[in-house]
């Protein structure tokens, strides 16, 4: 991981030098005409459980000193309850991570609690 931190070649701006990418889900069933992800993953939406995501995030923080996560999901908030469990779990476990979503989130999934 130290070599990756040193290279620091993300496709999005990062705030810290201890940043890494992370995927919690892939694919998206939405029929957006502008999106090219369907040619890569199709329309099937596959997810990791919130508990699995939180365990891996804890490992990144404790083992590698990660301070920032770039969630590379095609649509991180598609399943609102799942996204809430992940975000709430990050707060409860005091992971203290900066985060960004360089790919996208669907605007129709956002409200004050998620945003």
Q: Where are the domains of the chain?
A: 2-109
Phi, psi of 68 (to 5 degrees): -145, 140
Q: Please, what sign has the CA dihedral across residues 110, 48, 66, 1?
A: negative
pLDDT tens digits along 60-93? 999 999 999 999 998 899 899 999 999 999 999 9
DSSP string, 4-29: HHHH---SS--SSSSEEEE-SEE---
pLDDT at position 105: 78
pLDDT tens digits along 7-37? 877 766 777 789 999 999 988 888 888 888 8
| pTM summary value | 0.85
Supply the CATH classification number for the domain 2-109: 3.30.750
pLDDT tens digits along 39-56? 888 888 899 999 999 999
């Amino acid at each position: 991981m130290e070599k990756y931190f040193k290279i620091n070649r993300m496709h999005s701006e990062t705030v810290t030098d201890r940043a890494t990418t992370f995927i919690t889900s892939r694919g998206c069933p939405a029929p957006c005409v502008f999106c090219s992800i369907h040619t890569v993953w199709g329309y099937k939406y596959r997810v990791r459980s919130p508990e699995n995501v939180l365990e891996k995030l804890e490992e990144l923080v404790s083992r590698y000193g990660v301070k920032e996560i770039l969630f590379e999901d095609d649509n991180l908030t598609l399943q609102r309850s799942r996204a809430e469990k992940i975000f709430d779990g990050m707060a409860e476990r005091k992971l203290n991570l900066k985060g960004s979503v360089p790919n996208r989130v669907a605007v129709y999934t956002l409200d004050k609690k998620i945003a």
